[in-house]
Amino acid sequence: MSINAANAGLGLTICRGLRELHTYHSPLDLVRERSPERPVALVRPGAVALAARWFRDNFKGDVHYAVKANPSPWVIETLSDNGVVSFDVASIPEIELVRAHAPGARLAYMHPVKSRRAIAEAYFEHGVRTFALDSHEELAKIIDATGQAKDLNLIVRLGVEAQGAQYSLAGKFGVPANEAPALLLAARRATHDLMGVSFHVGSQCMRPSAFQGAMSQASRALVRAGVFADVVDVGGGFPSIYPGMVPPALDEYMAAIDRGFAEMMVHETTELWCEPGRALVAESTSLLTRVELKKGDALYLNDGAYGALFDAAHAKWPFPARMHRADDEGAREPSGVLRPFKLYGPTCDAIDVMPGPFWLPEDIDEGDFVELGMIGAYGVAMATRFNGFGDIETVEVTEPPMASMYGLAPRSIPTPKTDTADVVRLVAKTRGKKRRRK
Ligand SMILES: Cc1ncc(COP(=O)(O)O)c(C=O)c1O
């Protein structure tokens, strides 16, 4: 059984704007106050605000947030309050969402394949002028559906070869290098407004040089076409921090893009754009799940692959985990010895499994809570209602994230080496004394 992408995302679990968020200091406070029955997205608007300001101040161009990474209203509102006022949207519901929560925002419809009706609605009803394409057929469709409009910003998505991404986005979109010049020329002729190029080096890109390399491929395509681009859009791919994945500082990505732009054949007024998703939101959110059953080294949780843990299951990313225990009468202090666990989600599907390993106290048991960190990108956004699960509550916490690219927390997440030990002793205990319920 495969993930039903059509059910994923908008409107299912992402209901709260900034003003509606209830705030706790920490997940432990929440657990102690009311042991939540549903999974909870623990969100940190301050982390999104900081990331937005960092990109606004350090990227030498226009930052478009890729809404798909996390379409929560509180994210849209926080970004636009902090200087990110352009949004990369991929569907009419994403357009409506941004219009509702950031009314003055600039929208770029960056999905290279759109229905005629969606193009027309975006152009005539929502004022969208920027459209991506990677084929002559889509170009013709855009022109036709907008009534031969001449005020379009047409962005040609190029297929590029790029190294270093943990999630390749190659293959599905992007005009191949040998076909790019003809499409660039056609797009140039089709509009009186901006014509640009875009690409995506792949998500969670660990090599800044990938951006420079892709820009030089874009430059070659433009030279072969004999046209200048008004926009160079370097896409997304900017990384966050996960166990075993500590990327270079974001400064290095900006420096590589600056070098790449300086080497491109562009004119003085050419605009630089980017479309970060992950890097703006990943560290903002963790997920609080409850252990419903322990069976050996397996913990059965109330959220999983069909909920906010898509990447933990499908990409097998071992997100950082920590345990919280309610202080009910009889509860005892968690063991200082950590063991590797695998996690199962709540649905009946056998692929609803997150192999991890997730290092948690060896005495973790039913009723304890597992917080999975760095889940803000492509986490809550992916949750479905399959099997009746996936209803995720949202609360704000003021405690910092588990790791941070922006100085809010350490820049790495320690990962125990499984080949040297199958248990890890915690050096210091983080909580006061508790007694375990018998
Ligand atoms: C067109 C486009 N732009 C931007 C992004 C955001 O990428 P990331 O989250 O890796 O920054 C994506 C992700 O799929 C995308 O498809």
For each of the domains in the chain, give its residue range(s) and CATH number, in order of start: 3-43+285-425 (2.40.37.10), 46-281 (3.20.20.10)
3-state DSSP call for residue 286? strand
CA 374 to chain centre: 10
CA dihedral 170, 176, 180, 183 (to 10 degrees): -90
CA dihedral 400, 404, 408, 411 (to 10 degrees): 120
- 81, 102 contact by CB (below 8 A): no
Calculate how far, in angstroms, residue 66's C-alpha sits from the geometric centre of ligand 1: 6
3-state DSSP call for residue 425? strand
Atom of ligand 1 nearest to the CA of 88: 3
Calculate how far, in angstroms, residue 280's C-alpha sits from the geometric centre of ligand 1: 11
What is the C-alpha separation between 262 and 2, in angstroms, rounded? 44
Calculate how far, in angstroms, residue 381's C-alpha sits from the geometric centre of ligand 1: 13
Task: Copy the structure tokens of residue 43.
Answer: 């969100």
Q: Which residues contact 137 (CB under 8 A, 6 or more apart)?
A: none
Ligand 1, CB cutoff 6 Å, lining residues: 66, 68-69, 88, 110, 169, 200, 203, 235-238, 275-279, 377
- 392, 380 contact by CB (below 8 A): yes
3-state DSSP call for residue 117? helix
Q: Which residue stretches of the chain have pLDDT < 50? A: 1-15, 419-421, 425-438
Task: Copy the structure tokens of residue 42.
Answer: 């623990």
CA dihedral 240, 242, 244, 250 (to 10 degrees): 10
Task: Copy the structure tokens of residue 305.
Answer: 């692959």
Helix axes 180-190, 136-145, angle to 10 degrees: 10
Task: Copy the structure tokens of residue 53.
Answer: 């300001």
Report the phi/psi class of residue 113: left, alpha or beta, with left for phi > 0 and alpha for psi in -120 to 50: beta
Atom of ligand 1 nearest to the CA of 111: 1
> Which protein residue's CA is at the shortest distance from atom 4 of ligand 1?
236
- 240, 204 contact by CB (below 8 A): yes
What is the C-alpha separation between 237 and 205, in angstroms, rounded? 5
Q: pLDDT by residue (tens digit) across 161-193?
A: 988 899 888 889 999 999 999 999 999 999 999
Q: Which residues contact 237 (CB under 8 A, 6 or more apart)?
A: 162, 165, 200, 201, 202, 203, 204, 205, 210, 211, 276
Q: pLDDT by residue (tens digit) across 213-251?
A: 999 999 999 999 999 999 999 999 999 999 989 999 999
From residue 127, alpha-carbon distances to 61, 111, 209 in Å are 22, 16, 36
Calculate how far, in angstroms, residue 136's C-alpha sits from the geometric centre of ligand 1: 23
Calculate how far, in angstroms, residue 277's C-alpha sits from the geometric centre of ligand 1: 6
What is the C-alpha separation between 290 and 36, in angstroms, rounded? 8
- 434, 335 contact by CB (below 8 A): no
What is the C-alpha separation between 346 and 386, in angstroms, rounded? 10
Bridge partners of residue 133, in order along the sequence: 156
Q: DSSP assignment, residue 216?
A: H
What is the C-alpha separation between 400 and 166, in angstroms, rounded? 25
Atom of ligand 1 nearest to the CA of 167: 10
User: Is residue 357 reached through a cis peptide bond, with omega within 30 degrees of 0 on the bond before it?
Assistant: yes
Q: Provide the pLDDT for residue 335.
A: 86
3-state DSSP call for residue 282? helix
CA 54 to chain centre: 17
From residue 91, alpha-carbon distances to 115, 128, 257, 304, 414 in Å are 10, 12, 28, 26, 38
pTM of the model: 0.91
What is the C-alpha separation between 196 and 216, in angstroms, rounded? 15
